[in-house]
Amino acid sequence: MTKACLHALFARGQPVAFSRSFWPLAASWRRGETPENRPWIGQSGRVMHAYRTHNCGELRKSDVGAEVRLSGWVHRVRDHGGLLFIDLRDHYGLTQCVIEPGNSEFPMAEALRAEWVVRVDGRVEARSGDTVNPNLPTGEVEVRISALEVLSEAEELPLPVFGEPDYPEDIRLKYRFLDLRRETIHNNIIKRAAIIASIRRRMIDAGFFEFQTPILTASSPEGARDFLVPSRMHPGKFYALPQAPQQFKQLVMVSGFDRYFQIAPCFRDEDARADRSPGEFYQLDIEMSFVEQEDVFNAVEPVLRGLFEEFGGGKPVTQEFPRIPFGEAMRKYGTDKPDLRNPIEMSDVSEVFRGSGFKIFAGLLDKHKGGRPWFENAEVWAIPAKGGGSRAFCDRMNSWAQGEGQPGLGYIFFRNGEGAGPIAKNLGEDLTAKLRDELGLADGDAVFFVAGVPKDFADFAGRARTKAGEDLELLDKDRFEFCWIVDFPMFEWDEERKKIEFSHNPFSMPQGGLEALETKDPLDILAWQYDIVCNGVELSSGAIRNHKPEIMVKAFEIAGYDRSVLEEKFGGMLRALTYGAPPHGGIAPGIDRIVMLLCGTENIREVTMFPMNQQAEDLLMGAPGDVSPEQLRDLHIRLNLPKS
RNA sequence: GGGGGUGUAGCUCAGUUGGUUAGAGCGCUGGCCUGUCACGCCAGAGGCCGCGGGUUCGAGUCCCGUCACUCCCGCCA
């Protein structure tokens, strides 16, 4: 790319790709660099910058003959005795520099070690045909070193930057600044930044305003454990870090701002998982006024679809997110976060088995009947597995099920035009054929069965579906399959405390409003509550909120909370609803999980710059740490540590 | 709080049935090498086998305990 060409691109305001492969993402997203803030480019009698005239991903054949200055890290040294190569690396790329023994700087070049920071001056030279490196954007040229300055030395590395093997987490975290120089995670972090920038752009373009909400706020009685911050001015009282800006965003709507979003930090003092940082994470927090569920869907769906099309590496993205009621999701997929890349759908085949010759299932169906479907009545579900029609596969599934603590996994597999296996034998030819036809199966396929009361086996059935789909390689991994899960129940039975509880957010609006609360069985009431699921990952949860105080009072009453509790715990929210609250609703997609899906990683630490370890310790900064007695005295705190 | 996995050189790992002086690759140190790009070749240094206890003539290896990291369950409105 010539300088004239660069100028032309800058003038049109286009981003310029300086390099394409070493830090490909970093380079292609580079923006805003203009000739004005790079005064040494393209001018005669050029000003020589203290550190660089070009970055390490920038030089091309068209630069041959130029005297340039580069600064960066020594990525790799190849010493041939009579000839020495230095791969110089920075954020933008890699440039090969070369020096020969006659040069007065050669002794210094020989002393260089990996990750030293150096400045190199030299002339850009073309590489001869057979020495061109087609794997590097700068591979047609090299810099013939004329001067060399060590800007910073590095001790022997606890963690090499060159190469991409796995390293222990504790070392990676303790030396995160080295880890972050490595190509894959460096690109992930840059991609995260670009994703967040794109989200902001899309939200602002759609008419949303980004507002900040407090970090020091009040402890919330619902949900997770709070992080507490002691108050110096109010002895014995505590702030809490927000678990989410839930109440604030509703207050923003009551305050008349109409459309809010925020890349919001959320704090929850709960244990970590691979996909869940301990302590803190980010949500794309969204709230809108004068909307119904459909309006929220219409606002959010294009943002996510666009985002995944922009950053998903060309993998197909669901064009219209299907809406699946919670109850249907549980029956078809055994989970409220189905991976729709798995084509297997389960179905209720109880009627085939009722009174049949397969006495185990027939007996179960006979024993548990006449009660509440799902909670009390027995059913038999079929999990059709195309291509699973071998005894070996069916036995493998069966022993897997036993490993899951199940008695086993019944099956029929089809071959030579008939069903095989013990169930088929007992069921008889006609019913087996009926099953095969109803489920659309043929020779070479299998079907697995789970039986009992659905509320007890649905989760296991779902895992069996996942296992069958993955083992038979029925999933197309190279796509993003989205769906909405809708119509969640408003309440659920809390088996431990033997009482009715909110099943999601207590601020959600029940479908049917006050009338439903007053007339229906609470466990039958649905909420305007929804999730977005992508490839089996729950990306976000949202709701149309309850904006009427009398409905809120009634809903809390059903969950066993007196009006006084509501007033004590959510006084501010309740007060806000009594002075003209607009109907409103929103959602809060998890940023970290979106980035994980788009980076194709299972571990959240691969998309987080400075994560804590599983014990919620920051090994680089040493958090949590001790504080001085003076600090504690200021806060009116005396430690009462556990013994041992 | 509970369960699983891992822990041997700076790093990644091997180490057989309990048996002599614990090995390899990368890195490091020194030497050789003018076209490499995971450069190559030669030599060398480097070990509390996580820690503590036990069994045994003998433990990296078996047993018990403990610590660290990690994955999962609980938890995460």
**What's the confidence (pLDDT) of residue A289?**
98
Long-range own/partner contacts, residues A568-574 (CB < 8 A, 24 or more apart): A569/A220, A569/A221, A570/A247, A572/A247, A572/A251, A573/A247, A573/A250, A573/A251, A573/A507, A574/A549
For residue A487 the two structure tokens come to: 């119509």
- Residue numbers of chain A with a pLDDT score lower than 50: 1-45
Report the C-alpha gap between A107 and A87 in whole angstroms.
17
For the record, the structure tokens of A526 come out as 């649905």
Q: In whole angstroms, what is the distance from residue A446 CA to residue A387 CA?
A: 7
**What is the CA A273 to C1' B72 distance in angstroms?**
8
Q: How much is the pLDDT for A40?
A: 46
Dist CA A27 CA A58 (whole Å): 10
What span, in angstroms and rounded, lies between the C-alpha atoms of A390 and A370?
A: 37
Retrieve residue A294's tokens: 């459909």
DSSP symbol at A39: T
CA of A175 to C1' of B59 (A): 35
Q: Can you tell me which residue has its alpha carbon closest to the C1' of nucleotide B26?
A: A160
Q: Three-state SS for A628?
A: coil
Q: Are A269 and A226 in contact (CB under 8 A)?
A: yes
Nucleotides of B under 7 A from a protein CB: 1, 10-13, 26-29, 32-40, 68-77
Q: Which residues of A407-420 are buried (b: 16+ CB within 10 A; e: fewer)?
A: eebbbbbbeeeebb
Report the distance from CA of residue A161 to the C1' of nucleotide B59 in Å, as an integer. Answer: 38
Q: Which residue is nearest to nucleotide B32 (CA to C1')?
A: A81
Q: State which residue has its Cα closest to the C1' atom of B74.
A: A271
What number of other Cβ atoms are within 10 A of residue A131's Cβ? Answer: 11
User: Which residue is nearest nucleotide B1, judged by alpha carbon to C1' distance?
Assistant: A271
CA of residue A123 to C1' of nucleotide B48, angstroms: 53
Nucleotide whose C1' lies closest to the alpha carbon of residue A130: B35
Query: Where do we find the tokens 């009431």?
Result: A525
Task: Please say whether the beta carbons of A560 and A553 come within 8 A.
Answer: no
The continuous run of DSSP H or E covering A574 comes out as helix A571-577
**Which nucleotide in the DNA or RNA is closest to residue A165, CA to C1'?**
B12
Whole-model pTM above 0.80? yes
CA-to-CA separations, A184 to A74, A118, A165, A391, A600, in angstroms, rounded:
18, 23, 11, 42, 11
What is the per-residue pLDDT for A165? Answer: 65
Contact residues for A628 (Cβ-Cβ < 8 A; gap 6+): none
Interatomic separation, CA of residue A124 and C1' of nucleotide B42, rounded (Å): 35
State ipTM: 0.89
Cis peptide before A407 (omega within 30 of 0): no
Q: How far is the CA of A438 from the C1' of B67 (A)?
A: 58
